[in-house]
Amino acid sequence: MISVTFVCLGNICRSPTAELVFKKMVEERGLSLSFDITSYGTSDEEEGNPVYPPSKKTLEAHGIYGGHTAKQLTLRDVVNNDYILVMDSQNLLDVLRLTGGKYGEKIFKLCSFTKNPRDIADPWYTRDFERAFAEITEGCRAFLEYVIKNNRGALEYDARH
């Protein structure tokens, strides 16, 4: 089992979008049983809230359905997950502040797996939900290729059992 946690600021736009996009990709590859996928926010601002309606609408326009309830990331969540994938440089700083600089080896910016590493701009501010969706999809696709390549043994084992 490979545990993947997506992290943004509020956990109502980017990281739940990434969670639902990645779940669908993994499902399409027949690997759902091999992954545990969720998302968190670095802030408690939106805790308990559902996916922000414009993000949900964008996901549904692309045939992706599902929900998420916002929750704040804790140190325990970082310790218990294999990959912590953040959306931007501020998220990275905030997570490293939470861990006291530890666990850096499993904390990545999502777009660092793409050919064009960059921050995923927050659609809460840009209002460009399509762009955020496209960047998140590109990041998830590249991360899935990376993770399959680097965990081939474990994934093949899961597929056999």
Closest-CA residue to 62 (of 136, 155, 7):
136
* Residue that has been written with the tokens 């905030």 in this structure: 94
> 147: Cβ–Cβ under 8 A, 6 or more apart, which residues?
2, 4, 83
CA distance 147 to 155: 10
Give the tokens for residue 57.
């609408």
Minimum distance, C-beta of residue 114 to ligand 4NP, in the bound complex (Å): 18
How far is CA 95 from each of CA 9, 57, 88, 98, 106, rounded to the nearest angstrom? Answer: 10, 28, 11, 5, 11
Q: Which is nearer to ligand 4NP, 9 or 85 (CB)?
A: 9
Rounded least distance, CB 151 to ligand 4NP, Å: 27
Residue nearest to ligand 4NP (CB): 10
Contacts to ligand 4NP by CB under 6 A: 8-14, 45-46, 122, 124
Least separation, in Å, of the C-beta of 149 and ligand 4NP? 28
Pairing of strands 35-41, 107-109: unpaired
Q: What are the residue numbers of the active site?
A: 8, 14, 122
CA 105/CA 108 separation, integer angstroms: 8
